[in-house]
């Protein structure tokens, strides 16, 4: 489905005139349908780690704490996929992202060992201890792009730019999201439509990618210090 067909289907369900065009329209109803579609897409990106948005990034390490802006390392970076950062040159994991208290604690104590930590501050990737230049860092992350503007099936934009644009996310969920958001904006009853939306969203999430491993033991948040013994680790 394209942006146009999503808005047309939503309009038909709501009971308002179906638009012939969306982008560039000056009709208030169409403008609100477009806004609802873009908002729904952004909320889907921020609310769940959809497998279609997960990417792997390689970064060549610099011999300094500050590795640069995350958006220069991964241009469409939204957030990390937890526990995926590794130095593949040394086969060692990076623990984090640390919060401000954990990072300042780390900076204020002497930690013996070779445990690696990272923090995001000011949109920059900070590493401790200072790594060796040229080593290879890999991690997975969730990209912020969810709109396909080129027609090649890949996400390259964060909002719709043309009526022919499609999305890599569930078009059905976006359509249902447009419906309840539009009704809410107009001050109309939307409880039934919202319930239908939540059911479909839960269904799509349950079917998205592999099912996680259920661990009965309570997971403990990593904290300092974690000292790994010297040695070469092979996965």
With respect to residue 235, please indicate whether it lies within any of the assigned structural domains.
Answer: no
Q: Please give the tally of structural domains in the chain.
A: 2
With respect to residue 217, please indicate whether it lies within any of the assigned structural domains.
Answer: no
Question: Does 46 lie in the same domain as 72?
Answer: no
Question: Does 136 lie in the same domain as 177?
Answer: no
- Read off the pTM: 0.85
With respect to residue 215, please indicate whether it lies within any of the assigned structural domains.
Answer: no
CA angle 26, 30, 31 (to 5 degrees): 65
Question: Does 139 lie in the same domain as 61?
Answer: yes
Show pLDDT as tens, one digit a residue, over the chain (235 residues): 999 999 999 999 999 999 999 999 999 999 999 999 999 999 999 999 999 999 999 999 999 999 999 999 999 999 999 999 999 999 999 999 999 999 999 999 876 667 999 999 999 999 999 999 999 999 999 999 999 999 999 999 999 999 999 999 999 999 999 999 999 999 999 999 999 999 999 999 999 975 555 555 554 454 555 545 444 444 3
With respect to residue 223, please indicate whether it lies within any of the assigned structural domains.
Answer: no
Question: Does 121 lie in the same domain as 180?
Answer: no
Give 125-185 as a DSSP string: EEEESPPPTT-EEEEEEEES--EESSSSS---BSS--STT-EESS-HHHHHHHHHHHHHHH
With respect to residue 148, please indicate whether it lies within any of the assigned structural domains.
Answer: no
With respect to residue 42, please indicate whether it lies within any of the assigned structural domains.
Answer: yes
> Can you give the residue range of the structural domain that contains 70?
53-143
With respect to residue 157, please indicate whether it lies within any of the assigned structural domains.
Answer: no
């Amino acid at each position: 489905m394209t942006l146009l067909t999503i808005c047309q289907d939503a309009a038909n369900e709501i009971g308002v005139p179906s638009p012939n065009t969306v982008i560039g329209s000056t009709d208030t109803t169409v403008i609100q349908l477009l806004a609802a579609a873009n908002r729904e897409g952004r909320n889907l990106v921020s609310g769940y780690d959809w497998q279609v948005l997960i990417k792997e990034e390689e970064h060549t390490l610099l011999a300094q704490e500050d590795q640069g802006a995350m958006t220069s390392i991964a241009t469409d970076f939204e957030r990390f996929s937890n526990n995926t950062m590794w130095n593949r040159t040394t086969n060692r994991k990076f623990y984090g992202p640390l919060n401000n208290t954990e990072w300042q604690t780390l900076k204020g104590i002497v930690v013996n060992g070779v445990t690696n930590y990272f923090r995001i501050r000011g949109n920059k990737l900070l590493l401790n201890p200072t790594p060796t230049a040229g080593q290879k860092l890999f991690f997975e992350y969730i990209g912020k792009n969810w709109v396909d503007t080129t027609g090649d099936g890949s996400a390259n934009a964060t909002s719709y730019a043309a009526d022919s644009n499609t999305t890599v996310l569930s078009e059905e969920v976006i359509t249902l999201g447009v419906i309840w958001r539009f009704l809410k904006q107009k001050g109309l009853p939307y409880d039934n439509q919202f319930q239908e939306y939540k059911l479909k969203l839960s269904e799509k999430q349950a079917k998205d990618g592999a099912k996680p491993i259920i661990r009965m033991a309570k997971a403990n948040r990593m904290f300092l210090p974690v000292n790994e013994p010297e040695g070469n680790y092979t996965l």
